[in-house]
């Protein structure tokens, strides 16, 4: 099996590629290694992937279709897993064009590639942020998602719509996965839990938004990878699945657990809610359970323990 993974140097792309390589699949990884967060971490992830003989890396911007196509046109892929994107809700307030380029142009470019190379199936990343600020939880795939509260969310909804079009016209099997706040080792330094860990270790204050009154459905990376592998293994025409933990945790409890595992107390700087942020994310995962056999097993206590061990040993100055 030959798989194209976009965003392979990113957090989720790295873990997925590693798991596929351990299963003896051939993986072609594409990433532009941009410096949205410290690219040293992307290089470190790639160094690990480069240790597998079945891994090949292409440094390439997915939004440049001509160049992407000419680099890959001689390959026959069984599958594309499209994870490359400009991530982050807050950054989309100040850098909207990056989202238009990578998430809209880039996604069309990857779907075009699938069409031109006759790739039968694409699994792509969407996000819990498409749900916006819904009062009703848990968030279900049946809910309306046409009120995005950030441009990031709007571009993720765009991916789902474009995926439908490519399925409808060209018959490509399209599976969209709405990830809920993924965390773990080799994670993203721009995300709150990573910034918290960094500041706590440096004895610097952490910014706690909405005065700590937020809830997130934190989902451990290994559970997300199991969900992606399940989506790869099952066949559907066009489907969208929530991949979350379905167990939202209060931000203040999350911080306490992190403090316990890091062995240090946080200095908290309480702040107002940020524009574009949502109050609570909470995934209804009954559809993924039923159709994919998805069954997240890692508690936030256990997941943060593993993250904190990794962070203390290896990464305490990456933000």
Taking the complex as a whole, how short is the minimal distance between the CB of residue 125 and ligand NAD, in angstroms?
3
What binding mask, one character per residue, do residues 142-161 give for ligand NAD by CB under 6 A, x or -? --------------------
Backbone angle region of 169, left / alpha / beta, with phi > 0 → left and psi within -120 to 50 → alpha: alpha
Task: Tell me: does residue 179 bind ligand NAD (CB under 6 A).
Answer: yes
182/18 Cα distance (integer angstroms): 17
* 135 alpha carbon, distance to own chain's centre: 24
**Catalytic residues, which ones?**
152
Taking the complex as a whole, how short is the minimal distance between the CB of residue 48 and ligand NAD, in angstroms?
14
Q: Which two tokens stand for residue 5?
A: 């993974």
Nearer to ligand NAD by Cβ, of 11 and 282: the residue is 11
Taking the complex as a whole, how short is the minimal distance between the CB of residue 217 and ligand NAD, in angstroms?
10
64/6 Cα distance (integer angstroms): 13
Nearer to ligand NAD by Cβ, of 72 and 84: the residue is 84
311/298 Cα distance (integer angstroms): 18
DSSP state of 147: -
Task: Tell me: does residue 18 bind ligand NAD (CB under 6 A).
Answer: no
91/98 Cα distance (integer angstroms): 9
Task: Tell me: does residue 62 bind ligand NAD (CB under 6 A).
Answer: yes
Nearest to 211 by CA among 265, 253, 269: 269
Binding ligand NAD by CB under 6 A: which of 3, 4, 5, 11? Answer: 11
Nearer to ligand NAD by Cβ, of 128 and 199: the residue is 128
- Would you tell me which residues interact with ligand NAD (CB under 6 A)? 7, 9-13, 31-34, 42, 61-63, 83-87, 102, 106, 125, 127, 179, 181-182, 188
């Amino acid at each position: 099996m030959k798989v194209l993974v976009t965003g392979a140097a990113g957090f989720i792309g790295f873990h997925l590629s590693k798991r596929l390589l351990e299963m003896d699949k051939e993986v072609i990884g594409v990433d532009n290694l941009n410096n949205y967060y410290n690219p040293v971490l992307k290089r470190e992830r790639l160094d690990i992937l480069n240790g597998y003989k079945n891994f090949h890396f292409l440094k390439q911007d997915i939004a440049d279709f001509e160049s992407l196509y000419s680099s890959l046109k001689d390959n026959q892929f069984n599958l594309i897993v499209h994870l490359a994107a400009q991530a982050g809700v807050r950054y989309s307030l100040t850098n909207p064009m990056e989202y238009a380029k990578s998430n809209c142009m880039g996604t069309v470019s990857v779907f075009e590639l699938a069409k031109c190379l006759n790739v039968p199936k694409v699994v792509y990343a969407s996000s819990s942020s498409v749900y916006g600020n819904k009062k009703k939880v848990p968030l279900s795939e049946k809910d309306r998602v046409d009120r995005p509260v950030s441009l990031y969310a709007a571009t993720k909804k765009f991916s789902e719509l474009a995926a439908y079009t490519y399925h409808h016209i060209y018959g490509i099997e399209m599976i969209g996965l709405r990830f809920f706040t993924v965390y773990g080792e080799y994670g993203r330094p721009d995300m709150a839990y990573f910034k918290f860990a960094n500041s706590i270790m440096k004895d610097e204050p952490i910014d706690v938004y909405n005065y700590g009154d937020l809830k997130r459905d934190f989902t451990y990376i290994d559970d997300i990878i199991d969900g992606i592998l399940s989506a790869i293994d099952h066949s559907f025409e066009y489907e969208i699945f929530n991949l979350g933990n379905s167990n939202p945790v209060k931000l203040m409890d999350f911080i306490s657990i992190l403090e316990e595992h890091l062995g240090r107390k946080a200095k908290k700087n309480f702040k107002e809610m940020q524009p574009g942020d949502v109050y609570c994310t909470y995934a209804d995962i009954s559809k993924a359970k039923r159709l994919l056999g998805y069954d997240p097993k890692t508690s936030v206590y256990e997941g943060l323990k593993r993250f904190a061990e990794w962070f203390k040993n290896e990464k305490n100055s990456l933000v």
